[in-house]
């Protein structure tokens, strides 16, 4: 049965402008429709909040926040928002319509994807999220349902309904929003969400694309939350033997339970994804996964539901599937996790203990010490189990990790703090500190400098681009978009200015755009008709790079001469820019039609259609329009574009 027929909005016109044609999908917060903007005559998608939620101010604010935040993002991989308004009880967004399917549809249909296909989807997703992160926003609900794949192959990220500004990092004890299967541990335990929660979710999505299944599964939401907190995401190759190690490492990096170890944002993860792709050969990229279907998944698992957050934050084991418990929520829903008050204590039967007389225990200890030797036991307890933390201060994070590894220790976590004393990336403290005793095989927490809390944009004017990029990274800023323009005073390839300008204070890792000089503009000369050799010499003398088109063409120019050039006379290019020359193979020879006996108009039309220029010779005092002769006999050949003279009858 077509349920859209029962939807009261189908066929309705919102705001006197948007005609609702069909229902596309139903979510926990809203329903999405295909509609037509009758004012601009274009197809779009309408996301209409459920009327029952429109009375909730917080939901309406979140809805409006989505419109404003996404409208600020101009990126080819982000679903655009055109309009936001309300019509009575209907609060809606007008969005770009993407004809195609979701990544969830693809996984449900195909199961595991080839690594090349998985990376082809992941990279534009990360590009979209990277634009959001650099613009100051976190998506917070990345999952296959929010990855749209158009019929033309374009990949777009949708549903920024849970978006939150990076500067207003969530830290709540009451509730958080997200989808259970893709929540990062810090979201579950502390309710915090910065750019790294999107990185974690993308790692889970990548695992799902490579294996066809989610890394954590269970009969209840609580079981999945517990696994996020206590279990690492397994290597994809454990489920699909033969997958490259680089893919395992990429998933492990993105889904590290400690957020400090993950890539800082989607831009950093995108760089690692491209590095992983570069390490793989065609055989590894095109490895065919097992022909297994993806996990069963129905639409009901995408809806907003209430799940006790205490299930995840308690850090205690949860009942196995089928164990006694209350309502079990689907694991793929976008969920509001709320703290619930603890229930009444449950009485437990006392555990029985074996009774051992005090004298028996003492006798047993004495016997063990006699067997092992008291001296050896004391040495083992006081020395053999301990070592000392090696010197780590001012070392890079990588160098510190190696020193710890060489000492038999590992890194427990990495904390990053601002510092005016230590260079960015240098270890400024550790716990335990350098020189302190620690158990062998113990873990050390590193505190790494983020550099000054506010970084001033350096003066990069006249600096070569490569050096300018290095200077930005050294300062703690990120090289941003590079645009180029002509400048007669600044050398080609050097920085003209930055945005923001030099001296402006920015937070570390902020992107700085640069305008780079193309040098003084050069005027392009006209070399059409010259020999290819002469034209190449003239253009190189003018400062251009010259290449020849692979194929020659028919043209009125002599064979071997230039028939065309990629930049026209008077165009301005930069020194070293390439101009492509197309060389003539001479005019095409075509047959001349017979026009003798025709009138002037018919003869001219026939000759022009054949590809000739026509001239008319009318004898003195001739009043006839009939053609008496033509300069090239009928059936003969003449160059295309050449002139044929036709003569009318005389007296």
Look up tokens 């004495």; give the residue. Answer: 366
CA distance 120 to 100: 16
Q: Report whether the peptide linkage leading into residue 88 is cis, meaning its omega lies within 30 degrees of zero.
A: no
**Quick check: 18 and 47 in contact, CB under 8 A?**
no
CA distance 209 to 214: 9
Find the catalytic residue in 7, 41, 105, 141: 141
Q: Give the start-end residues of each E strand in 220-372.
A: 305-308, 334-338
Picking from 96, 35, 29, 31, the residue whose alpha carbon sits closest to that of residue 61 is 29
Question: 406: burial class by Cβ within 10 Å (0-12, 13-18, 19+)?
Answer: exposed
Quick check: is 152 catalytic?
no
Tell me how many degrees the CA angle 202-207-209 measures, rounded to the nearest 5.
Answer: 90
Tell me how many degrees the CA angle 640-642-648 measures, rounded to the nearest 5.
Answer: 120
3-state secondary structure of 386: strand
Look up tokens 């402008």; give the residue. Answer: 17
How far the first Cα of the chain sits from its last, in Å, is 88
**Which tokens is 480 given?**
């941003």
Helix (H) / strand (E) element for 399: namely: helix 397-406
- Specify which residues 643 forms β-bridges with: 613
Strands 545-548 and 578-583: parallel
Per-residue exposure over 630-644, b if at least 16 CB sit within 10 Å of its own CB, e if not: bebeeeeebebebeb
**Quick check: 586 and 554 in contact, CB under 8 A?**
yes
Picking from 310, 307, 304, 375, the residue whose alpha carbon sits closest to that of residue 341 is 310
What positions carry a catalytic annotation?
141
């Amino acid at each position: 049965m077509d349920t859209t027929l029962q939807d009261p909005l189908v066929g309705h016109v919102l705001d006197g402008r948007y005609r609702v044609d069909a229902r596309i999908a139903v979510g926990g917060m809203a329903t999405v429709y295909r509609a037509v903007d009758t004012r601009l005559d274009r197809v779009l998608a309408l996301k209409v909040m459920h009327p029952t939620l429109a009375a909730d101010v917080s939901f309406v604010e979140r809805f409006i926040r989505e419109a404003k935040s996404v409208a600020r993002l101009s990126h080819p991989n982000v679903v655009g928002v055109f309009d936001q308004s309300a019509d009575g009880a209907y609060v809606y967004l007008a969005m770009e319509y993407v004809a195609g399917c979701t990544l969830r549809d693809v996984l449900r249909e195909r199961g595991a994807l080839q690594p090349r296909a998985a990376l082809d989807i992941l990279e534009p997703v990360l590009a979209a999220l990277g634009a959001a992160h650099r613009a100051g926003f976190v998506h917070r609900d990345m999952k296959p349902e929010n990855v749209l794949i158009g019929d033309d192959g374009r990949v777009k990220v949708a549903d920024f309904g849970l978006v939150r500004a990076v500067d207003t990092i969530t830290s709540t004890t009451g509730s958080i929003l997200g989808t259970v299967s893709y929540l990062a541990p810090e979201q579950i335990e502390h309710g915090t969400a910065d750019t790294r929660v999107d990185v974690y979710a993308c790692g889970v999505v990548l695992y799902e694309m490579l294996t066809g299944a989610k890394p954590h599964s269970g009969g209840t939401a609580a079981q999945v939350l517990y696994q996020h907190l206590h279990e690492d995401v397994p290597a994809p190759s454990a489920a699909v033997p033969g997958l490259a190690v680089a893919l395992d490492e990429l998933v492990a990096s993105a889904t590290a339970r400690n957020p400090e170890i993950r890539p800082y944002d989607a831009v950093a993860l995108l760089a690692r994804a491209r590095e992983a792709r570069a390490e793989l050969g065609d055989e590894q990229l095109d490895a065919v996964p097992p022909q297994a279907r993806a996990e069963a998944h129905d639409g009901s698992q995408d809806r907003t539901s209430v799940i006790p957050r205490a299930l995840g934050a308690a850090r205690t084991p949860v009942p196995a599937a089928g164990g006694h418990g209350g309502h079990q929520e689907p694991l793929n829903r976008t969920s509001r996790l709320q703290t619930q008050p603890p229930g009444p204590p449950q009485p437990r039967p006392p555990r029985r203990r074996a009774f051992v007389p005090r004298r028996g225990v003492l006798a047993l200890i004495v016997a063990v010490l006699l067997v092992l030797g008291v001296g050896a036991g004391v040495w083992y307890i006081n020395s053999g189990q301990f070592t000392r933390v090696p010197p780590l201060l001012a070392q890079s994070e990588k160098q510190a990790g190696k020193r710890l590894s060489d000492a038999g220790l590992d890194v427990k976590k990495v904390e990053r703090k601002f510092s005016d004393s230590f260079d960015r990336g240098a270890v400024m403290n550790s716990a335990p500190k350098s020189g302190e005793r620690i158990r062998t095989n113990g873990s050390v927490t590193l505190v790494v400098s983020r550099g000054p809390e506010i970084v001033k944009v350096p003066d990069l004017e006249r600096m070569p681009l490569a050096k300018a990029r290095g200077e930005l990274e050294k300062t703690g800023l990120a090289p941003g978009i590079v645009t180029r323009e002509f400048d007669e005073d600044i050398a080609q390839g050097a920085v003209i200015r930055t945005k923001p300008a030099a001296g402006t204070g920015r937070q570390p890792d902020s992107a700085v755009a640069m305008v780079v000089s193309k040098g003084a503009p050069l005027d392009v000369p006209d070399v059409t008709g010259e020999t290819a050799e002469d034209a190449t010499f003239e253009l190189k003398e003018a400062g251009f790079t010259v290449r020849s088109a692979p194929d020659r063409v028919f043209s009125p120019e002599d064979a071997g001469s230039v028939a065309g050039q990629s930049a026209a006379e008077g165009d301005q290019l930069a020194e070293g820019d390439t101009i492509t020359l197309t060389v003539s193979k001479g005019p095409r020879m075509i047959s001349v039609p017979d026009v003798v006996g025709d009138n002037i108009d018919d003869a001219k039309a026939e000759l022009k259609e054949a590809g000739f220029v026509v001239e008319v010779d009318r004898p003195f005092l001739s009043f006839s329009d009939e053609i008496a002769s033509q300069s090239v006999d009928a059936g003969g050949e003449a160059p295309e574009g050449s002139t044929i003279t036709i003569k009318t009858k005389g007296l």
